[in-house]
Amino acid sequence: MNKKRIAIQGIRGSFHEEAAFKHFGEDIETIECDSFKATCEALKHKKADYVVMAIENSIAGSLLPNYNLLQEYRFAIIGETYLNIQLHLLALPGVKLEDIKFVESHPIALRQCGDFFDEHPHLKVSEGMDTAACAKKIADNKLTNTAAVANNLAAKLYGLEVLDRRIETNKKNYTRFLILAPTATENPKANKASISFQTDNSIGSLAKILNYFADNNINLSKIQSMPVLGRRNEYIFHVDLEWQTLAEYEKAIRKTLKRTVNFNILGEYEKNEKV
């Protein structure tokens, strides 16, 4: 039986691969991509079966360029998963903290470890493209004076040791990942949806639409506005909805269709609680 091919931004050992393992299990083929757009291209050209894409972080906020990719490619969102982002200081076996002069990682990961670097001002911090790639660089080049900020998966994969564990400043740090597929499949357990739409510029137009959901007991778990490219004062709204009763959700959607333009259901899937 062929393994599922999962496209991720970054290389093996990254948080994206960890999220893929969490959703699909570890018996998968990871397709490494240099960018989020490249993951979409891999799915479009059937070089991957699914994409795992970060969409928001509890500290850094929304990844706005990825909302543009959702609009551009129109893949189906078939699921979501959350990771508690735990960041460790990794180095070659036998290297001690006092040997370290340089630390490399993804810029967002470095920013999330500000307190640690304040306590170790002698460390020179530099940005890399990916947490796992920085770990791999240390292993490949046998760098004894450099550490990486990455996860346990990268440490295990590239043979590094944890010098200092959980160096992130905020321990309640979560990233939400979307699972994308070429087309939607019916999910009888679906109780969450991601939709997008535009409204006119009349007073209260958005409020009226949001009230349709409130009137039908639909919880709005997220609202994200994005400018429409090339059009002044026009915005597209991305909304995540959660429901208890399918009939109420469908009723709210029917009403919303009448009041919006460029309406799209990006995906209907099962809500995944943070773990």
pLDDT tens across 176-192, in order? 999 999 999 999 999 99
pTM: 0.94
pLDDT tens across 81-106, in order? 999 999 999 999 999 999 999 999 99
On whether the CB atoms of residues 58 and 83 are closer than 8 A, the answer is: no
Mean pLDDT across 264-271: 97
**CA separation, residue 258 to residues 99, 199, 202, 268 (Å):** 65, 10, 15, 20
pLDDT tens across 43-72, in order? 999 999 999 999 999 988 899 999 999 999
E strands within 99-160? Answer: 102-105, 124-127, 146-150
CATH for 4-84+173-181, options being 3.40.190.10, 3.40.1160.10, 3.30.70.20, 3.40.50.300? 3.40.190.10
Alpha-carbon gap, residue 95 to 143, rounded angstroms? 10
pLDDT of residue 237: 96
Looking at the annotation, which residues are catalytic? 175, 177
pLDDT of residue 233: 78
Q: Is 268 exposed, middle or buried (0-12, 13-18, 19+ CB in 10 A)?
A: buried
pLDDT tens across 175-231, in order? 999 999 999 999 999 999 999 999 988 888 999 999 999 999 999 999 999 988 777
For CATH 3.40.190.10, the residue range(s) in the chain are: 4-84+173-181, 88-164
Mean pLDDT across 158-180: 96
- Is domain 192-269 given the CATH code 3.30.70.260 in the classification? yes
- Is domain 88-164 given the CATH code 3.40.190.10 in the classification? yes
For CATH 3.30.70.260, the residue range(s) in the chain are: 192-269
Tokens 């944890």 belong to: 162
